[in-house]
């Protein structure tokens, strides 16, 4: 190749690369991958098992992590695959606080893989969350700081065959945390049934400060993952609880 031709080729390649970068950035923004809020999501394993009814035996008798979700993003980088080795230092806590309650133990990492590839790759826009270890580690930190299990116990809100009023649960949590969480329930199957407590979300800003989930801009209609859309995982039909009685189901030995 002649020198002049070589220079033209190199210049053309650089221009093409620059164009691709600009186009990718435009594509990224047009596909709504920019997000403003995070949702730290806890779920109640007994309710998960009650709805899924699929190989869910002896679920934990404490609230566990469902995920840490940006409000308007999903699968932001499909080439950034989950690597279990990157979080090996976190595995003891991951297994205890972030278990896959509906799948056999050998497949537990598939749940984490799903959460990273769907949500973690989007949360990684923040320097504080821009690796798998940071993302999972920060979620574990949030979980421990919120300490939902202990707080509910101190508030006298425990699994029971009796019903609670939704407003009482919400007001009690707000009085402790200073912000209002989002509480989700499994709707009643029949008119005479009672909605079942299933999930509690706490909201955070991009600065990782806790804030109200009731503010309009925090809503996340895109997130069918507030009721995960992937049927392989926790794709149960949760929705924001209605005012009125709520059943907080005691753990059962097994669901089939």
Catalytic residues: 66, 115, 119
Q: Which two tokens stand for residue 168?
A: 């009482």
DSSP of 13-59 = HHHHHHHHHHHHHHHHHHTT----EEEEEEE-HHHHHHHH-SSEES-
Residue pair 38/68 in contact (Cβ under 8 Å)? The answer is yes
For residue 249, how far is the Cα from the chain centroid? Answer: 22
How buried is 25 (Cβ within 10 angstroms: 0-12 exposed, 13-18 middle, 19+ buried)?
exposed
For residue 152, how far is the Cα from the chain centroid? Answer: 20
Kindly list the distances between the CA atom of residue 204 and the CA atoms of 66, 134, 148, in Å, as whole numbers in the listed order: 15, 16, 16
Distance CA 196, CA 50 (A): 10
Q: What is the CA radius of gyration of the chain?
A: 21
H helix runs in the chain, sequence order: 3-30, 45-52, 91-97, 108-115, 121-123, 132-146, 148-154, 166-177
Q: Which is it for the CA torsion 179, 139, 225, 216, positive or negative?
A: positive
């Amino acid at each position: 190749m002649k020198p002049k031709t070589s220079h033209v080729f190199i210049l053309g390649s650089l221009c093409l690369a620059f164009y691709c970068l600009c186009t990718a950035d435009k594509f990224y923004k047009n596909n709504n991958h920019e997000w403003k809020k995070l949702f730290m999501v806890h779920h109640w394993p007994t309710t998960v098992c009650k709805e899924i009814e699929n190989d869910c035996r002896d679920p934990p008798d404490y609230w566990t992590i469902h995920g840490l979700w940006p409000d308007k993003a999903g699968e932001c980088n499909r080439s950034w695959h989950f690597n279990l080795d990157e979080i090996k230092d976190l595995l003891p806590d991951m297994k205890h606080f972030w278990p896959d309650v509906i799948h056999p133990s050998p497949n537990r990492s598939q749940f984490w893989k799903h959460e990273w590839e769907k949500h973690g790759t989007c949360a990684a826009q923040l320097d504080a969350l821009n690796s798998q270890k940071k993302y999972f580690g920060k979620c574990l930190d949030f979980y421990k700081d919120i300490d939902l299990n202990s707080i509910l116990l101190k508030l006298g809100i425990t699994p029971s065959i009796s019903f609670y009023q939704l407003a009482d649960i919400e007001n009690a949590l707000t009085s402790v945390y200073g912000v209002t969480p989002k509480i989700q329930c499994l709707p009643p199957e029949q008119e005479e049934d009672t909605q079942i407590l299933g999930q509690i979300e706490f909201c955070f800003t991009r600065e990782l400060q806790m804030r109200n989930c009731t503010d309009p801009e925090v809503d996340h209609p895109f997130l069918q993952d507030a009721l995960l859309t992937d049927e392989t995982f926790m794709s149960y039909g949760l929705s924001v609880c209605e005012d009125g009685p709520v059943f907080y189901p005691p753990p059962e030995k097994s669901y089939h």
